[in-house]
Amino acid sequence: MTVFLTGGHGGIGSIIRTSLIEAGIEVIAPTSSELNLSNEFDVSQYPAVDGFIHCAGINNIAPYNRMRVDDLYRLLGINTVSFVELCNKLKIKDNSNIIAIGSLYAMSTKEGRIQYTMSKHALYGAVKTLALELAYCKAKVNMISPGFIDTPLTRKNNTQERIDYLEENIPLGMTNPLEIGNLCVYFMKHNQAITGQNIVVDGGYSLKNI
């Protein structure tokens, strides 16, 4: 089994890549310099794959009235449009599993996140539509939406006070990134009936509106 993975060298993406490899799955994970999703790209050189995981993404923080339109288009291109393009351009075998890595911002939002929220809401719309359009070849298309993942980047971007607050108030605490990797392995190796869904992995964060 071979899986094509974008964003496979980032915080969550690297965990997904390692989890897949440890499960005996071959992973094609080009770097951002090898596959620049900001521009027109060609993936014809890659072999046919049994699955595709889109983990590439960027996040620009700015209120709507300070947003640069060029930044918005670049973010949408990487986070959302390239997912649809890759579903079309990659040679994906029948009976495949396709996963878009989403976010809690696919269902909610907060101030300053208009660009990222737009991209993740749109990404979920793409997932649901592609689930219908690719059902003819038995492809299953789903989204996995992490909450606060316990990665070095999360700890770098948050104060210790904020980390302590999250650990105390999220019902199950911050999520181990291996949970995302293990779920991707399950979908790639076993899923035959789940499609068009958004699987939220947040330790109960979204239940409390914290």
Beta bridge partners of 143: 100, 198
CA distance 191 to 168: 34
Tell me what pLDDT residue 59 has. 84
CA distance 5 to 56: 8
For the chain, the straight-line distance linking the first and the last C-alpha, in angstroms and rounded, comes to 40
Tell me what pLDDT residue 43 has. 97
pLDDT single digits (tens) 146-199:
998 888 777 876 789 988 998 999 999 999 999 999 999 999 999 999 999 999
Tell me what pLDDT residue 179 has. 96
Beta bridge partners of 149: 175
Tell me what pLDDT residue 13 has. 94
Tell me what pLDDT residue 194 has. 98
CA distance 152 to 10: 11
Domain ranges of the chain: 2-148+178-204
Tokens of 36: 């620049």
Nearest alpha carbon to residue 187 among 131, 109, 149? 131
Tell me what pLDDT residue 132 has. 98
Residue listed under structure tokens 């991707």: 184
CATH tag for 2-148+178-204 (out of 3.40.1170.10, 3.30.460.80, 3.40.50.720, 1.20.1260.10) = 3.40.50.720
| Strands, E assignment, 42-134 | 49-54, 92-101
Ranges of the chain whose pLDDT falls below 50: none
Tell me what pLDDT residue 127 has. 98
Tell me what pLDDT residue 62 has. 82
Residue listed under structure tokens 């108030």: 169
Tell me what pLDDT residue 210 has. 65
